Structure 1
Amino acid sequence: MDAGSHSISSGKNSAAAVQRPPLQEAGSRPYMPPLSTTSRNPSAKCYGDRFIPDRSAMDMDMAHYLLTETKKDKENAAAIAASPSKEAYRRLLAEKLLNNRTRILAFRNKPPEPENVFAADTVSSHQAKPAKQRRYIPQSAERTLDAPDLVDDYYLNLMDWGSSNVLSIALGDTMYLWDASSGSTSELVTVEEDKGPITSVSWAPDGRHLAIGLNSSDIQLWDTSANRLLRTLKGVHESRVGSLAWNNNILTTGGMDGRIVNNDVRIRDHAVQTYQGHSQEVCGLKWSGSGQQLASGGNDNLLHIWDVSMASSMPSAGRNQWLHRLEDHMAAVKALAWCPFQSNLLATGGGGSDRCIKFWNTHTGACLNSVDTGSQVCSLLWNKNERELLSSHGFTQNQLTLWKYPSMVKMAELTGHTSRVLFMAQSPDGCTVASAAADETLRFWNVFGTPEVAKPAPKASHSGMFSSSFAHIR
């Protein structure tokens, strides 16, 4: 497909991958023959639990003599037994037993050592469970799709994967939806040339409504199930909107003007809170899982942590009041990822002049660790099922790197993209990761594996709220 075509189709080398069901492992499980009974080796020695004496090794005459003592011997024994002399007893004992080396019963072969099966089972039952085997991580993409006209801009956020298992990706002026369940692709909208290109995209929690930020500073809200534009937010920013983040019914937007605005989509006067702390473009926005803290990263190399309770308690000062202002990064901070298993842990990544992944305690503002990755950090994703972190990079290897947390030991490096991997998105089940790069390809990786117990997809509990809210607002 030529680069000017506005569609997402299978890559040249992915015909076989497209035929496979989506979100499945690249290869089928190898065939294993059933277990068969093997014949016993007749030459092998087998020891049972009975031992039969070997009569050829016995001295039958001596045995008969010892068993049928003479009358003299009996009289001596009776005399000694009646005598209090211990010395006589020892002499008779040495004569009859200690100096007699003849074996009454003898065995030709030494019996084997017993196998203490029951003891071994008892010990193992009390031991801790064996260490979990390291899972197999495929080194190649499960599927590759063409993504022509993908804007090569580090500061934008052009891809997101919703809770309804639909991936949205902006290619130039057009927004496409790829249904991971069926593998089908549809076009949602192509914006007017004077408003485009599309600069950011984010799914609402219900997986049905989609927010689209434009180069013209407008923000569009779409009902994807009805393919209908519900509302356009105007005047929120003075220039392009490069980052979006949802917190229930609040849509937070970040612009090139450095402003961060909370928009309540249920009301006509939607701009309810403004955070001002960045002097340049806001290129990263992420709400914590609890919805209490917002992380923002900018082209001014700053990272801010904003707290909802602080802003609500001081509305007049909320425009400037951040909880933490962190200046450790030496380049733009775009990659942000809240930890799913520790609510106050945030991972951030810096641009080409920084190349570091940093970990923060957002309650105290302390930097817990910093790792130099050697290349531009474009995006970060946590594994929802294991303590792992995935990063995507720019120059020079354009790779995805899987890290073990907290040791930050590299578990795998996934290569295939030929240009910087600008965006990553995670499937609702947390297993598959989609990566989009400046080489105009979209690749799917089964990097996080399959959880032991699959978690059900979250229910669309906000669909009614959005429909009723937008019914009378335009």
Structure 2
Amino acid sequence: VFDSLNTTYANFKSNFAKRLSAEGPVASSPITTRWQQSQTRDLSAYSLGEEPSTVDLPESSGSVLKITSEKDTLTPGSFNEPLKTPIKGSSETLNSAPCFCKATCAVDRGWKENDSSKGQKCLNQPSVTQKVFQQLNGKMQLCERSQCVWKGCRNGVREESFYFKRFNDVKYSKTQPEVKIHLTGLRNDYYLNILDWSLQNLVAIALGSAVYIWNGEDHDRIENIDLGSTCNYVSSVSWMKDGACLAVGTSEGEVQLWDVVTKKRLRNMLGHLSVVGALSWNHCILSSGSRLGRVYHHDVRAAQHHVGTLCHKQAVCSLKWSPDGRLLSSGCSDGLLSLWSHDPGASTKSQPLKVIPQSTAVKAMDWCPWQSTVLAVGGGMEDGCLHMLDLNARTSIQTPSTNSQICSLIWLPKTKEIATGQGIPKNDVTLWTCPTLSRSGGFFGHTGRVLHLALSPDQTQVLSAAADGTASVWKCY
């Protein structure tokens, strides 16, 4: 077996040439560059559906999704089941079109892998028969409960329905989500950040190689940006605070800026050699992190956009600028949480202000909106705890283990709570009071891990997107 970690360049080059001549995979390459990725698209990817890489990504284990033809939809599979990634130019199709359901929706907890042939589509959802790079003709539209045959959107028992429950409510009342959304094509990848809600009340979510955008107030005027001709899939999205500019990271290592009003690409910023899984804005500085451990600072106003570089040893899972813009926190798959000063001209030799080791990959992470030195971090499967760090006081509070993977995290300023999206066994969104970090409620109903959370600009609604191909908008205040 070729050792991808302890090899000389000569041996690598010789082995790589033999593999190319035999039309074999290049997954053993120490570095997955963009030109190497084009060779690997004709092959089945790893269980995550990611580009081959030698970085250690332990937190990606868990339920995976099987992507089938337009007659089928996303189906939860077993833990060890590989995820086949459709390839450009192939005859397979990936129907990446979300649709909404206004009515109360119940989830069928009896999903089985062999039920995928029965279909879980919405009747209003158009079929897509084009090849993968032409996959995004589907429309995003409302579907009524009486017409919808999607599994999990049929009438069911109340205990199996999607609901929100406050633990401290004496009356034990339950409220249903305001909107239910079907997401076909959502990647079950722990390391991506593909959901964001802007201050202009626009929601963006990446499904396959397209970004779907709609109005978060009335969930209308659905648009999509198609990147299918330039990338395999979109790996991260982030709204600029002012205006309708959306930053998009791709599996090919590109960082693109889009004007969502005109649906025109403003610029394409190259530099990364692998998947761009994390983006974060600090005014006009956009920071991007890749699977190869590089964090690049881009000044979007300048022609020479690359103004700084930071280095990790393994994949960058998350990036967050503090509310005052003075500190950048970066989470890595090796379990290191690093804090960096505001220095756009940083070189690769720059050292972080502080490194806080964690027991698992640091992906779920966010700064407190009302205390700029307080940082919340969610632990992975080996940890399962929510940590709240006060950098000024040098104190740390943590919850007891949740016995699940914390995949996403946001603050709720109106209620002074933290919401965490979690994996098995409950696949729920848990609410925690601050600063005591005691459970106060939760959103229930997802059958896959809750990979992404987003907060509305008025701070009254939470959008949760899960690996089961569903998303829900919840009233949180």
Interval of TM-score (by shorter of Structure 1 and Structure 2): 0.5 to 0.7
Aligned to 2:458: 429
Inter-CA distance 365–217: structure 2 relative to 1 (3 Å threshold): farther
Conserved 8 A contact 2:399-2:437: no
What is the identity, as a one-letter code, of the residue corresponding to 2:304?
Answer: D
Q: Which has the higher helix share?
A: 1
Residue 168 of structure 1 is matched in structure 2 by: 204
Correspondence list, 1:74-473, <5 A: 138-192=174-228, 195-235=231-271, 237-276=272-311, 278-308=312-342, 311=343, 319-327=349-357, 329-363=358-392, 366-447=395-476, 449=477
| CA displacement 1:389-447 (0-9 Å, x = unmatched) | 11110111100101111122211122110100000000000010001111111111112
Q: Deviations over 1:248-303 (max 9, x none)?
A: 10111010011111100000111111111x21111111111101111111111110
Secondary structure at the aligned position of 1:334 is classed as: coil
- Name the stretch that deviates more: 191-200 or 245-254: 191-200
Do the aligned residues in 1 keep the contact of 2:448 with 2:467 (CA within 8 Å)? yes
C-alpha separation between the residues in 2 aligned to 1:238 and 1:156? 16
Cα displacement (A) at 1:197: 0.4
Q: Offset at 1:331? A: 1.1
Q: Say which SS state the counterpart of residue 304 (structure 2) adopts.
A: coil
Q: Helix, strand or coil for the counterpart of 1:246? A: strand
Structure 1 residue 140: Cα displacement: 3.0
Residue 418 of structure 2 aligns to a residue whose secondary structure is strand
Instruction: Write out per-residue CA displacement over residues 288-319 of structure 1, whole angstroms, 9 at most, x where no aligned residue.
Output: 110111111111111011111xx47xx56674
| Length, aligned pairs only | 330
Q: Counterparts of 1:165 and 1:223 in 2: how far apart (Å)?
A: 15
Instruction: Report which of the two structures shows the higher radius of gyration computed on alpha carbons.
Output: 1
CA shift in 2, pair 1:333/1:145, >3 Å: same
Deviations 1:160-204 (A, max 9, x none): 001111100111111101212332243332213562200000000
- TM-score when scaled to structure 2? 0.65
Q: 1:15 to 1:348 in 2, by over 3 A?
A: closer
User: Which TM-score applies when normalising by structure 1?
Assistant: 0.65
* Counterpart in the other structure of 1:99: none
The change in CA–CA distance for 1:15 and 1:368 in structure 2 (over 3 A counts) is closer
User: Which blocks of at least 5 consecutive residues in structure 1 are unaligned?
Assistant: 21-131, 450-474
Larger displacement relative to structure 2 (425-434 or 370-379): 370-379
CA RMSD, 1 decimal: 2.6
